[in-house]
Structure 1
Amino acid sequence: MSHDHASSSPVLSVGERDAELSRRLSDGLDEVNYPATGTTAADQTSLSVKVVDAAGDVVAGLTGWTWGGLLGIEMVWVREDSRGDGWGSRLLLAAEEEGRRRGCDRACVSSFTFQAPGFYQRHGYVETGRTLGFPGGAEDVHMFKEFDRSA
C-alpha cells in the first residue's frame, strides 16, 4: 500500500527539545517578525559580558541581544563567592553601554521573584507585568527601561 504524501494526514508528536524543529520555528517566525517590525536579521545580534578570575574561571556573566533599538537581557549570574562585590551592576552597566553603542534607546529583562527584580528596579527598570504560576509560588517579573537620551 503506497502513501500519497499530499493526501496523508499530518501526524502530531510530543518529545524532548528538537533542535531541527527549533530552527524551523525560528525561521518561520522571522518571516513574520521582521516585516512586522520593519527590521531584518542584520538588526538582531547577540551580546555577552563576562568576568573571569586569574584562573580563567567565570566569576560573573550576562547574555542578551539587541534588536531594532531594544537591548534584551536574557541571563545574569554572579558566582556565589563574588555576590555583593558589585559585579551585577558592572555587568548591567556594561551591557547598557554596549546597547547604546549599537543604537539602543531602551532595554527589557525579566527576573523571577526569588531572583533580583529589586536589583533591576534600583537600576531604573519599571515593572510592566508578571507571569504567574511558577514552582514555589514564584512569579516572573517583566521590566523595561528607557535610556536617558543625554547619557
Structure 2
Amino acid sequence: MTDDQREPALTVGAEDAELGAYLGERLDAYNLEATGTTPDDLGELSVKAVDAEGALVGGLTASTWGGLLSVDMLWVREDSRHDGWGSRLLRAAETEARRRGCDRACVSSYTFQAPAFYERHGYVEKGRVPGVPGGAEDVYLYKEQL
C-alpha cells in the first residue's frame, strides 16, 4: 500500500472548535439542500438581562430554522430565579422567533432543571432519555403554537 492509499487516521480528543465549525458548515449545507431552505432561514438568537451594574441576571440562547425555535440554554442567576426573569427571557425569545416567521418551539431540559417551567409556558413533553447522572432524565418538550 502506498502513502496515498493509507487508511485515514482516527483521533479522539477534547473539543475541537475548528472541527465543530467545519462540521456545522457541512451539515448546514446538507440540511438546507435537503429541505429546500436557504441560509437566510437559519438564525442564532440570544436574549440577556443585566442589572444596573451591568452584571448578567440571566440569558437565553437559541436558533431558528424553518419555522422552529430551538432553545439551547436558559439560565438565571440564583438570586433572581423567583423574580420572573426566566419567563421574560423565554417570552422575548418567542416574540423574536415569531417575528422571524417561527410558529413552534422545542427545548430539552434535565429533570433536575426546569421541565415544569416550560410546561407552564405551553410546552408539552414529547419524550425522555434516561441515563443522566444522579438518575435524572433528559426531557424533550415541544410547543405547537407560539
With the length of structure 1 as denominator, give the TM-score of the two structures: 0.91
Q: Does 1:137 align with 2:135?
A: yes
Q: Does 1:100 align with 2:92?
A: no
Deviation string, structure 1 residues 119-142 (Cα, Å, up to 9, x no partner)? 100110011111211111111100
Deviation string, structure 1 residues 71-121 (Cα, Å, up to 9, x no partner)? 111110111111110111111111111110110000001100000000100
The structural deviation recorded for 1:31 is 3.0
- Unaligned stretches of 5+ in structure 2? none
Letter in 2 for 1:10: P
Residue 27 (structure 1) aligns with: 25
Letter in 2 for 1:7: Q
Deviation string, structure 1 residues 51-77 (Cα, Å, up to 9, x no partner)? 100100000111101111111111101
Distance in structure 1 (CA, Å) of the matches to 2:19 and 2:88? 37
Q: Which has the larger radius of gyration?
A: 1
Alignment of 1:64-83 (within 5 A): 64-83=62-81
Letter in 1 for 2:139: V
Q: How many residues align?
A: 146
Q: CA RMSD in A?
A: 1.4
The structural deviation recorded for 1:5 is 4.6
Distance in structure 1 (CA, Å) of the matches to 2:3 and 2:29? 25
The percentage of counterpart residues that share the same residue type is: 64
Q: Which of 116, 119, 122 does residue 117 from structure 2 map onto?
A: 119
Q: Does 1:147 align with 2:145?
A: yes
Deviation string, structure 1 residues 6-65 (Cα, Å, up to 9, x no partner)? 311111111111112112221221232112222122211111111100100000111101
> After the TM superposition, which segments of 4 or more aligned residues of structure 1 sit over 6 Å from their partners?
none
Distance in structure 2 (CA, Å) of the matches to 1:24 and 1:63? 21
Distance in structure 2 (CA, Å) of the matches to 1:134 and 1:55? 37
Residue 50 (structure 1) aligns with: 48
